[in-house]
Amino acid sequence: MRVIFKYLKPIIFLGLGSFLLWIACKDINLSEFKNTLRTIPLHWVFLSMLLGYLAFVFRGLRWKLLIKPLGFEPRSIDLVHAIAFGYLFNSFIPRSGELVRCTALNRVTNIPVSKLFGHVLLERLIDFILLAICLSLSIIFNYNDFMKFAQLNLAYEYISIYRNCDILYLGPF
């Protein structure tokens, strides 16, 4: 039974993936799609791919710096691939990528998942602190524009609340 399921499982998922791909693409005009693809400037596509991969590399190197004090020495390529694998899983199940990249690296390097996940939480904390710093600096350097925007939205919010109260209590007239 296990042998049958071992070979049947990929076939089932391939069929499910093909079916979902067919649903997504059934209403696309192929000739128009080909013409659109021909007009795409490929140098921007390749530059985008390169910069995206460099982001994975830098995250892998940052993770390596965090793991090194634990006494483990994983290969950089394993870290980069674990991070890319985690982002792939985030496409299917949101927020699962952090746990998946820890388990993927655990299978390759035998570093305990609990220690890896602690470092993922530390990375998220570092990201949050950097985001708060960037947000604070942008508000400080653009204070006047920010206040104009905030006052405009606040005024719009009061008007919206007032109109909603009229509709709720006084009817549509």
Residue 5 lies in a domain: no
Q: Helix 97-109 vs helix 113-141: angle between axes, to the nearest 10 degrees?
A: 140
Which token pair is 117? 């996940």
**Whether residues 69 and 149 fall in one domain:** no
Residue 9 lies in a domain: no
**Whether residues 157 and 137 fall in one domain:** no
Split into its structural domains, the chain has a count of: 2
Residue 48 lies in a domain: yes
Question: What confidence tens digit (pLDDT) does each residue in 13-35 have?
Answer: 899 999 999 999 888 888 998 99
The confidence score (pLDDT) of residue 171 equals 45
Give Rg (Cα) of the chain: 25
**Whether residues 90 and 80 fall in one domain:** yes
Residue 120 lies in a domain: yes
Which token pair is 46? 């390749």
Q: Domain limits at 163? A: 142-173
How far is Cα 31 from Cα 86, in angstroms, rounded to an integer? 35
**Whether residues 81 and 146 fall in one domain:** no
The confidence score (pLDDT) of residue 162 equals 53
Number of residues written out for the chain:
173
Residue 28 lies in a domain: no
How far is Cα 160 from Cα 69, in angstroms, rounded to an integer? 55
**Whether residues 137 and 155 fall in one domain:** no
Residue 26 lies in a domain: no
Amino acid at site 154: L
Coil vs helix vs strand at 111: coil
Residue 151 lies in a domain: yes
How far lies 138's CA from each of 67, 80, 82, 126, 134, in Å?
32, 31, 33, 18, 6
**Whether residues 112 and 44 fall in one domain:** yes
Residue 10 lies in a domain: no
The CA-based diameter of the chain, rounded to the nearest angstrom, is 73
b/e sequence 82-102, b meaning 16+ C-beta within 10 Å: bbbbbeebeeeeeeebbbbbb
**Whether residues 50 and 85 fall in one domain:** yes
pLDDT values of the chain reduced to their tens digit, one per residue, 173 residues: 677 777 888 899 899 999 999 999 888 888 998 999 899 999 999 999 999 999 999 999 999 998 999 899 999 999 999 999 999 999 888 888 899 999 999 999 999 999 999 888 888 898 899 999 999 999 899 888 888 877 776 666 655 555 555 544 444 44
